[in-house]
Structure 1
C-alpha cells in the first residue's frame, strides 16, 4: 500500500511510555499544576508549624514538672539529697571520736569536752583536740585514732601506717603532736585565769581499731593506749571499774595536786566556752562539722534572726511541719511554707560565779517562724567552698561559744 505524503507519519510508542504534556506556566494546565503545588507546600508548612507548637508545649510542661518536682522534694523530702558527704576515712575517724566521747560521758566523775580548737599563737591558727577528760586530779588531752594495719616508727620520729591493701600513709609523731596540743591547752587555761598544778595535764593517744598493729617501739610509749586496752575498758560494767582503769592512765610518778571546787567550776567554764567546731545534723542523720557563717533569705527573716548571736545561742532546732496537702498546694502555687526554729540560749551561769545576773538570758528557749527557703551558709571542715543548706533540710545546728 502506497502512503499518502500529505498525511504525517505516526511513530509507534511502547505501552510503558506516556504522552508528553505541556507544562508551560501560562497554559491552563501549568496554572493548575502551580496551584496544586502551592497547596501541597502550604500543607507541609502548616504541619511543621504544628509540630513546633506541640514541641514547645511539651517543653514548657516538662519544665513546669521539673520545677514542681524540685519544690515538692524540698518541702516533702528535705533529707533526700545530702549536699556534701565526708570521705570514708574522715567519717570513720569522726564516728570513732563520737563513740569514745559517748563512752566517757557515762562515767561518773568525768567531764568530757569534744573537738576543742585551741589557738596556736606561734602558727597563727588553731589546733584541734579530739577529747578533754577532766577528773579531780587529772586532765587528759586525748587523741583518738581509728587506724587499721601496721604502724611503724620511722627514723625521723614520724609514724608510718601500712594498710591491708598495701598503701602507705605517713603521719607525724602522734605522741609528740598530742603533747604539743596539751601544752597549748594548759597555756590557754592559764591565760583565762586558772593555773593548773604541775603534771595535771597528761596527753594520751587511744588506738581504738582492733585491726591496728603498732610495733613495739610505739607500744612501749606510756602515752599510747592500745586497742586491747581500750576493749578492756569497754568490757568494764561498773563505775568503780571505770575509775580504776582511768587512774591507771596516769604516769606512775605523777602525783598532781587536786583543784578546789571554785577552781574546778572556773575550769569547767573555760572549757565549755572554748572554741570548737559547729555541728550540723541533717534530716536523715548525716552530721557535718565546720563553721557556721550566716543566714541567707528574705529581709524579713533576716531581721527576725538578727538578734540571734553566737554569744547568746548554743543550739538551733528545726521543727518540721509534715502536713502534706498544704505543702503540695503551696508547692504548686509557689508559696514558701514556714518552719519553726527553736533557739536554745547559752547558759553562762554554771561554772562562773562572778557572771553578772544582768547578763543572764531571761528566756532559755525562743521560737521563731521563718520561710523554708531560708538557707544556712556553712563551711564544712576540709572544704574551701561555702555550702548552702536549706533550713528545711536541717534537724539541729549546734554553735560553739
Structure 2
C-alpha cells in the first residue's frame, strides 16, 4: 500500500469511529423521543381521496437535535478530505470537477441517511421532498459548511488565480526599485509529488507555525533605513548628472582581506562613474550628535536622541576601505584603474545632526551646510534632491582636484567602457523579509522545499519569491485538520504548497558565516 493510502487510513479510522458513536447517540435519542407522551408530539393534517386525516410523529427536542446534527456534520466534514484523497490519490490531481462532484454525492447520501434517522423509518424517503423540506436552520448550517469546505479544501485560488497574479504578483507597486521587482520564473515540484501528512503531522506543523516568533525592527532605525534605501533605489540609473552614471546599493566582492571588511562582500551606497573618476559615496541620514573620540581618532561616538552614546568605527575609514576593495575588484576583472581615480565621500544629509569640527572639516565629508544656499532657494528639502545636489558639488570639485594633483583629464575610453560593463553586472544585496516586519540584507545561497533546491543563481536580479502564510490560529488550525496546506510559495508560474520543514540558507550582511533560517519565519525572498 502507498504511503498516501496508509496515512489516509490512519486519519480515517478515528474520524469514522467518532462518526459511528455520534450516529448511535443520535439514533438512540431519536428512538427514545417516541416514548415521550405528547410533549414532543407533532400532528400534521393531510387530505386525500378518502378525506382528511391526521398523522402524528414524535421528534427529539429541537435544541438537542440541532446540536447533535451539528456535531455529526462537523465530523463528516472533517473526514471528507481524507476520503477524497483516498479515492483520487491526490487532492487536486484530477482538477476541481471530480472532487466537487464526489463531495456533493457523499453529502447527498448523508442527508438521506440523516432523514431516515430523524423520522425513525426504514423506507427511503422522497428525495425531492426531503431536499425542500429540510429544516432551515440545518440548511443554513449545511450551506455554511459546504462554503467553508470548498474554500479551504479545493482552494479559492483556482477561481482568483488570474486576478491574484494581476494584482498581488505584479510586485511593482512599491517605490523600492519600482518595476524591477517581479515574481520569479522558477518552477517547483508538481502538487502531486508533495507528500500527504497524517493528522498528527499536520497538527505538528500548525504548532510550529503559530509558535514562530515575529522579528521586529527598531521603529526609528527602520524608518530611517527604509527612507534612505528608497531614495537610493530611485536614484539607481539616474541620468540627472551630466556625463555621470549612478549605481545605488552595489555589492563589491572581496578579493583581498581588509580588517574593516569582514564579510565576503561590501555594500556601497552610491557609486558615481564619470570619465574622470569613480566616486564611492556613503550616505548617512543620521540625527543626534556625532563626535570623534579624543583618545582614539579611529573611533567615533554617536548619540541618538534620549540614548547613551555608542562607539562606532570611523565612517570615513570604513568607506575608504570600500573604495580600496572596489579598486582591487576592478583589477581582478582586468580593469587597470589607478587608485588616484577612485574617490571616497561621506554625505551627511540630515540638517539636525550636530557634529564636531574634527569630523566636519575632514576632506571626505560633505554636509548639508555646504549646500545650504541651494536648500534655502529650493524650499523642499527632499532627501533625493539633497543627495543629487551634494553629488553635483563633488563633480564640480572633480576637475579642480585633477588639475591640482597634476593628473590628466579623462581616463582612456577603453577603461571607461570596461568599468561601465562591470558596474552593470554588480548586484545589490539580497533581502529577506521576515515574519514581524524585519528586513535583513545579505546573500541568498539557496532555498530548499520538498527536497528541491533553488539556488541564488536560478533567480534573476529583481525577482522575488513570496511565501503566503495563514498565521491566524483558528483558521490555520481548521486548515491543518481538514488537510489544507498552511502556506504557499508564489512565483510567476505557479502557486504551490510550501514545505513546513523547508529552509533558507542566507548569509546576513556583516556576519562571518551563513545561517539557516526556517521557512516559517520568512515572508518574502528578494534577489538583488
TM-score range, shorter chain: 0.5 to 0.7
Which runs of 5 or more structure 2 residues have no equivalent in the other structure? Answer: 1-198, 376-380
Per the TM alignment, residue 119 of structure 1 is displaced from its structure 2 partner at its CA by: 1.3
Report the 3-state secondary structure (helix = DSSP H, G, I; strand = E; otherwise coil) of the residue aligned with 2:400: coil
State whether structure 2 residue 413 is matched by structure 1 residue 267: no
Conserved 8 A contact 1:136-1:259: no
1:277 CA drift (Å): 3.5
Counterpart in the other structure of 1:50: none
Q: d(CA) in 2 for partners of 1:333 and 1:269?
A: 54
RMSD of equivalent CA atoms: 4.5
Give the conservation status (yes or no) of the 8 Å contact 2:287–2:353.
Answer: yes
Given candidates 311, 316, 325, the residue that maps to 2:464 is 316
CA drift of 1:253 comes to 1.6
Structure with the higher fraction of residues in helix conformation: 2
CA offsets, 1:316-368, max 9 Å, x none? 3337599x9x98864322343673543xxxxxxxxxxxxxxxxxxxxxx7657
Q: Aligned partners of 2:417 and 2:503: how far apart in 1?
A: 38
Contact 1:182 1:201 in 2 (8 A): yes
Equivalent residue for 1:378? Answer: 506
Q: Which has the larger radius of gyration?
A: 1
1:200–1:257 CA contact under 8 A, matched in 2 = no
Q: Deviations over 1:129-152 (max 9, x none)?
A: 332323323322122234333322
The correspondence for 2:523, drawn from 369, 378, 394, is: 394
1:254 equivalent in alignment to 2:402:
yes
SS in 1 for 2:419: helix
In structure 1, runs of 5+ residues without a counterpart are 1-63, 343-364
CA separation of 1:169 and 1:92: change in aligned 2, threshold 3 A:
farther
Superposed counterparts of 1:107-146, under 5 Å? 107-108=238-239, 109-119=244-254, 121-123=256-258, 125-126=262-263, 128-137=266-275, 138-146=277-285
TM score, norm. by length of structure 2 = 0.46
Distance 1:375 1:249, change over 3 A: farther
Cα distance in 2 for partners of 1:244, 1:297 equals 48
Q: 1:224 aligns with which of 362, 365, 369?
A: 365
TM-aligned CA distance change 1:387 to 1:285, over 3 Å:
same
Rate the CA distance shift 1:243–1:225 in 2: closer, same or farther, 3 A.
closer
CA distance in 1, matches of 2:477, 2:402: 66
1:280 partnered with 2:432: yes
Query: Structure 1 stretch 329-338 or stretch 138-147: which is displaced more?
Result: 329-338
- Closer, same or farther: CA 211–334 of 1 in aligned 2, 3 Å: same
| More deviation, 128-137/329-338 | 329-338
3-state DSSP of counterpart to 2:398:
coil
User: Is the contact between residue 92 and residue 146 of structure 1 (CA under 8 Å) also seen in structure 2?
Assistant: no
Which whole-Å CA distance do the structure 2 matches of 1:337 and 1:313 have between them? 25
The residue that corresponds to 1:336 in the other structure is 485
Alpha-carbon distance, 1:237 to partner: 6.7
2:226 to 95, 103, 110: 95
Distance of 2:483 and 2:466 partners within structure 1: 22
Instruction: Report the Cα distance in structure 2 between the residues aligned to 1:187 and 1:99, rounded to whole angstroms.
Output: 29
Aligned residues: 302
CA contact (8 A) 2:402 2:409 kept: no
Indicate if the aligned counterparts of 2:468 and 2:488 stay in contact, CA closer than 8 A. Answer: yes
Q: Distance in 1 between matches of 2:247 and 2:516?
A: 30
Alpha-carbon shift at residue 219 of structure 1 (Å): 1.7
Between 184-193 and 246-255, the greater mean CA deviation after superposition: 246-255
